[in-house]
Structure 1
Amino acid sequence: MPQINRFSSRWIIAIIAAISTAMMFVISAPHVSAKEYVPTTGLSPDGNQYSIGWEVPSIQEPAGRSKRATKDYTFETNQLENGMQTLIHIENSEAPTEYRFPLSLPQGAEVIPFSEGSEDAMGVFLNGSLIATIAAPWAIDANGAPLQTSLHIENGTLVQIVEHNSDTAFPVTADPQIDWGWEKTTIKLNKKETQATGAAGGAGAIAAFPWMTVLDATGPVGLAVLAAAGKLGYDAVRAHRNGKCLGIVVSTNVLSHNGGISTFEYSCA
């Protein structure tokens, strides 16, 4: 029978122990999926429940939070009181400048970009009604200085571009964020009202926007509309030239972090 000397047996025992330790690590290590769907669910004032979300690379973590770290960047998704955000932590210049989040929307919903200068970047509409907004993007470097960033939709995917280079102070933080639209008022002008709003220009008076009384755009909503008269006039002219009508989204929560006016164009009869 072959003999195994004491020196060899020690090596064999060490190898077996190493293999066992490695197997235990693999079994207990958290599962990393290529993409994880992170949704937010909201209940509308009329009792309808909706779910909207996107996909991000992530590791499952408790308490409604998911996080995935690489050497170049980290995604961290947090549930908010009125929606959801995914923070992008960019560690160095080797990280990409483009981050893609495939969207999952209620059946029949569409994303409509808001015009330049709007408080939010986009609106999610279902059957013509606003159900959520995608906040205007932001990005800051390690010193808190803002960086160029933008959002757009590409084949059902929300794409955020964050401009950075080797001269940037890292880490950089950016985020796409979605908020439910229950605290916002949506006003859709017809062709005649759109044309009249454009003709009124920057006149900040109810007399210049007679539709405000007809549509009961009073109180905080009315004040916000009048304060944004110049923008509404400009956007109405552009909508009319494009053969469309002007839509206006106004926050009815004056304390909201994204309170203000957003506008969009829509097809109308």
Structure 2
Amino acid sequence: MRTSTHRRKPVRLAIATVSAAVGTAIFGGAVPANADIVTAQTAGVDESATFVEAATGTADIAATVAAAGTPAKAFTATGGGSVTVTAPDRANGTVSATTGEGSSFGLSLPGAEDVEGIKAGTGTVVYTDAATATDIAVQPTTNGGARTLLTLKDDKAPTTQRFELHLPVETEAVDNGEGGYDLIRLGDDGKPAITVGTIDAPWAKDAHGKDIPTRYRLEGNTLVQTVDTQSNTVYPVVADPKFDWGIVTGTLYFNKSETRKAVESGGFLTAAAAMIPGPGAPSAVTIAGWSTMAAIAQRHGKCLKINTWLKPNEYSGGYCR
């Protein structure tokens, strides 16, 4: 057994400059002996939330409720049904998304410290100093996913972080050719795999809103993000892995055997087309175009891929075996 949607571009908003004094004026009157510590902690959480929300915007942050074991749980609806997104109680926990049918995807935060998550701002859960000079934040989003944000506070912060992917059985991550990954559910009885989630291409920005190069690589089920800071980088830097879960795209992936079938049988492609959410069956011309692309991919030692807009392409790696 092998184990382990409509895609959006990463957010590109300028980051506002955040004062280190955020939250320091909200306390007054008589205070307990540990007030300085409490005030500093609150200010740090508020500052971090303000900073990342300036980078991401707040329009798609989902409304959340607190529940046992989590500071924030969101109940969202997608084109594929309902999804419940849960932020972990601690920085070394796992962000999870579960569909109404029970299919679940998780992404472990890279926090080395056992730091409590606190909801602040518009709905951002912040884990301050979860790793060396690094805050982590989680934002459940309205489309059945979540952003997991790294705030690198200074040049002592590690520039490579590792996120463990918790994939359902018969699901795997495949490079989508655009800097991110499609999460595909393997088909039964020789059917192609269909995309049931996505990990968007990463982005990173410094304190002035300047783009910082960043990239992913996949090591087994570990998503590794590297941020290429430089000597002139202005800190803090925010970086964002984002995922969506649930059927939010109909992209099909064919392995080599299925690609061969696509060359040989228009009926096989017609049956595969029924897996793609859309207005109806594709035309004979469309099916012929898919078969032609399958033959091209086969000659190149690659595999067929058909996106949700019925456009065929070739790909390699991952499921193409």
| Map of 1:144 onto structure 2 | 209
| Map of 1:18 onto structure 2 | none
- Residue 79 (str. 1) matches residue 130 (str. 2): no
| Map of 1:59 onto structure 2 | 116
Q: Secondary structure at the match of 2:304?
A: strand
Q: TM-score w.r.t. structure 1 length? A: 0.61
> How far does the alpha carbon of each residue in 1:4-48 deviate from its partner, in whole angstroms, 9 at most, with x for none?
xxxxxxxxxxxxxxxxx79xx9xxx9xx956112212233xxx45
* Structure 2 counterparts to residues 208-219 of structure 1, below 5 A: 215=273
* Structure 2 counterparts to residues 84-163 of structure 1, below 5 A: 84-114=146-176, 116=177, 118=178, 121-128=180-187, 129-163=194-228
1:174 alignment partner AA: A
Q: Secondary structure at the match of 1:107?
A: coil
Q: Secondary structure at the match of 2:230?
A: coil
> How far does the alpha carbon of each residue in 1:150-172 deviate from its partner, in whole angstroms, 9 at most, with x for none?
11111321111100022112221
* Structure 2 counterparts to residues 1-269 of structure 1, below 5 A: 35-43=92-100, 47-57=101-111, 58-62=115-119, 66-70=125-129, 72-81=133-142, 82-114=144-176, 116=177, 118=178, 121-128=180-187, 129-188=194-253, 190-191=258-259, 215=273, 237=296, 240-242=299-301, 244-250=302-308, 264-265=315-316, 266-267=319-320
2:248 alignment partner AA: E
Task: State the percentage of identical aligned residues.
Answer: 25
TM-fit CA distance, 1:73: 1.8
TM-fit CA distance, 1:267: 3.8
The 1-side partners of 2:140 and 2:314 are apart by 26
Larger fraction in helix: 1
Q: Could you say what the CA RMSD is over the residues aligned between the two structures, in angstroms?
A: 4.1
Structure 1 stretch 57-66 or stretch 76-85: which is displaced more? 57-66
Q: Which has the higher contact order (CA 8 A, sep 6+)?
A: 2
Q: Which runs of 5+ in 2 are unaligned?
A: 1-32, 42-88, 188-193
Verify the 8 A CA contact 1:183 1:251 in the aligned structure 2.
no
Q: Which runs of 5+ in 1 are unaligned?
A: 1-20, 197-210, 253-259
Verify the 8 A CA contact 2:305 2:312 in the aligned structure 1.
no
The 1-side partners of 2:281 and 2:207 are apart by 37
Larger fraction in strand: 1
